[in-house]
Structure 1
Amino acid sequence: MSIWDWLLNPSGLTPHGFCLSWAPGLVALHAGSDVVIGLAYFSIPLAIATFVRRRPDLEYGWVAYLFVAFILACGATHLFSIFTLWVPAYGVEGLLKLLTAILSIATAGILWPLIPRVAALPSTAQLEQLNLRLRDSEQEARLSNLELERRVAERTGQLERANAQLTEALAERSQAQQALARSEAEFRASFEAAAVGKIQTDPVTGKYIRVNHAFAQMLGYEPEELIGQDGWSFTWPEDRDEGREGYARLLSGEVSTYHREKRYLRRDGQPVWGRLSGSIVRDPDTNQPLLSIGVVEDVDDRHKAQAALEAAKQDLEAMVAARTAALAQRDLLLREVYHRVKNNLQVVDSLLVMQARQTSDPAAKEALLSLRSRVYALGLVHHQLMGSANLNTFDVAPFLQELATNVVEGGADQDIELNVEAIPLEVGLDFAIPLGLLVTELVTNALKHAFPDGPGIIEVVLERGEDGGIALIVSDNGAGYPAGGASGDSAGAGLGMSIIKGLVAQMRGAMSVRTENGTRCEIRLAAPVAP
């Protein structure tokens, strides 16, 4: 048995329709169902492939093409089942099913390991939610910091005023015992009821003589537990050396007041930030230090808020740096795409030049050179995008100048003067390509038909219309187009005019042509929308 017999009629088997007794209803049911299923199977992979092509950023897009192959194979088995109703090609049908089985196993084998990786990718909504939380956290921290600064300023003012009152009360001690007693009572009341911590220390031994409830509570003690204790033992170890240096300057009289933010050691072993303002009460006769007075404001919440703000700022900077790097990578890839497209179009241009040189038929050579101009227009668009700052738009004015100059220099045998006047206009890829092809075709038509006997002038103008749209005007002072060539209504209209009409329709524009004293073609277009 030959291979063809095995594929198309193995062992003389009967076609599938014989099993259905050639009943018209059953044959039509099976054939119709397989047709519908096969067409559906062919439609689904086309839709998947179209989606993947429109989303080149998908990380695992290649898996979709494996699905495409698998579904196409399934559709082929159903369509071939129609063939086996009349032809017993069961060998071919078996090979198709074997191919479908291989593709299905490969698809299933690749799909399962990819599911955890794809599911782990963050969604756009999650990224946006994270950005919103960061902005909210930053705003809350900023407001909290402002409120803390306001409270610190208020409490500092209160501290300075209280310290002034205390100094004044001590200075009045020498005037009268009664005034001293009254001042002492007032001071004690103020000392104990103050919202900020207040301390009195022996300037020689550094031991606490008196502390108020606010200061003791800040350290986690009762006031009486601190009396007689060495004040430096409640300073955080790492802050003691610097604190002693500043206090020594206060004792020596080098400075009159002592201000410092430092950490105190709480009863539970944790640090707490306080802002200490200290001064020395001296003997008016000997100037010897008698008493150290300090006011301690609890600023721990502000320091914690500043630390949290700094951490959030660092996280935000890291995220901004990561997103900046991602955007830079995207721009690099996009520039590479534009560069490769431009290079591929240059290869096509070179092939067209080589083919035109080897073509002896004038009409074919002219057609190849016209095609070369169109390819150049496409390549120039990608070249402009590659050099633009945002990789999305570029100024169309220099683009039209370079494009029209290339067409004239490549297609004019006589002395043709070219004038291009274009307004500055940022355009994207979807607007620039049809506009460039329109200019290429219109200038090429003018070179072909307007100047059969000598030199002339071609003008290309891009201006903004009164309605806010864009007007493209290509005119010459030549002999005009042949009958029917401008409008394209007669049988004489060629491929170039067909392309022009198609491009105008694509851009939803309107074209008008006048042939008095040369030819003037004006195309009205809607202003391009920024991509």
Structure 2
Amino acid sequence: MSIWDWLLNPSGLTPHGFCLSWAPGLVTIHVVSDVLIGLSYFSIPLAIAAFVRRRPDLQYGWVAYLFVAFILACGTTHLMAILTLWVPAYGIEGLIKMATAILSIATAAILWPLIPRAAALPSVAQLEQLNLRLRESEAEARLSNLELERRVAERTSQLERANAQLTEALAERSQAQQALARNEAEYRASFEAAAVGKIQTDPLTGKYIRVNRAFAHMLGYEPEDLIGQDGWSFTWPEDREEGREGYARLLAGEVSTYHREKRYLRRDGQPVWGRLSGSIVRDPETNEPLLSIGVVEDIDERHKAQAALETAKRDLEDMVEARTAALRQRDLLLREVYHRVKNNLQIVDSLLVMQARQVSDPGAKEALLSLRSRVYALGLVHHQLMGSTNLSTFDVAPFLHELSTNVVEGGADQNIELNVEAIPLEVGLDFAIPLGLLVTELVTNALKHAFPGRPGTIDVMLRRGADGSIALIVADNGVGYAADGAHAGGTGSGLGASIIKGLVLQMGGMMSVAGDKGTRVEIRFAAPVAS
């Protein structure tokens, strides 16, 4: 028997239709039922397969394909039932039923363990609740994002403002640096071009920070050779101790300037004499020393001449002793000279007062009193020199206060308030006399013209400019020279104006006058070098 015979007609069996006696009604019922069942079995797996393909996210989608195979096999058995009504293909039917049985057992074996897992899957209500929570979380996230965006925008705005301020600050700093660079260049040019030696040292270590070419060549070096060197090592050994003592007083603030003639040590080992004038730059807030500044004048030729003169006169010891005694008497004689000059000027002052009392002409009387103020200024200069320590210089601040007070008290008929503000400044006779006369003329001019029958204020100031120059300022809150041509701070044609112009020219100064609110006269001139 061949395989086809076994599949289609095993052992000559009869088809199922024979069992139904080929009754048309029964055959029709079985055929129609199996056809409908088969078609249903074939349509159901196709629907399941289409659903699974549209839902690739299903967790157990492969089980659906197993159901598809099982149901298709079941549908095939019903179709075979129709075939076996007429064809005894019981072998094929058996094989199909065997495949259906295997798929059924496999589906059942796999399905039961999956039931707890499938039951654990969230329900539709749970999914809707989870979706609701998810939407609430999304809403909160959007609100958080909006708040974050607001904060980011606010922070960005703050950063932009800070960046603008930083840019502005950098621009201001750049301008300040440029101005500082210009000032530094100007100062360096002035520093290097000076004919005398100039030095800058660290006030605590004494090391050179900057020296100009004149000083370096005086010692036989180039400027760069001295930078960072100890300044005391270039002082002649025998002069170091005394120099340190004087410098210690300057550093402690006991004196404002340091003047000394001393010997320096040249590169070739020989001494060279120099006259040192030094001062300390201090922090305006803490008063701590920041920088030592010195001016060194080469006086070696003068000292060599003195040494040669002393050598030539070595055998004239008695004359040297007499000269020494005379030098010891110099202070006494100078004080006596100053005293006598002051007394003589006081006599002249008394004569002027007596003469003014005898004169009836107001103009002549005013001229005598003006002359008296000038004489008083000269006498006060000699009085200050007589009381100074070195008989050559004195502090100009108390001098200006006493002088201005005397002029106001002697010339004011109404209530005039006087304010004197002057920096400490050591001046000599040649500087003090024209300065005192200038103050006398300017204060007298203000008393005469600024306050016609009313009280007022006169300010006398002596200041030091940033460039080291000195400014004398005499200001009042009177009517101003625009209202009275005679009160023009020395710009008129009278005797007082001529004296003021001559004194300004003598001091090498420059004068400016402002008359918007009262009168302000400012005279600038170079600072005096005390000797």
Between Structure 1 and Structure 2, whose CA radius of gyration is higher?
2
Band the TM-score falls in, shorter-chain normalisation: 0.3 to 0.5
TM-score (norm 1): 0.40
TM-score (norm 2): 0.40
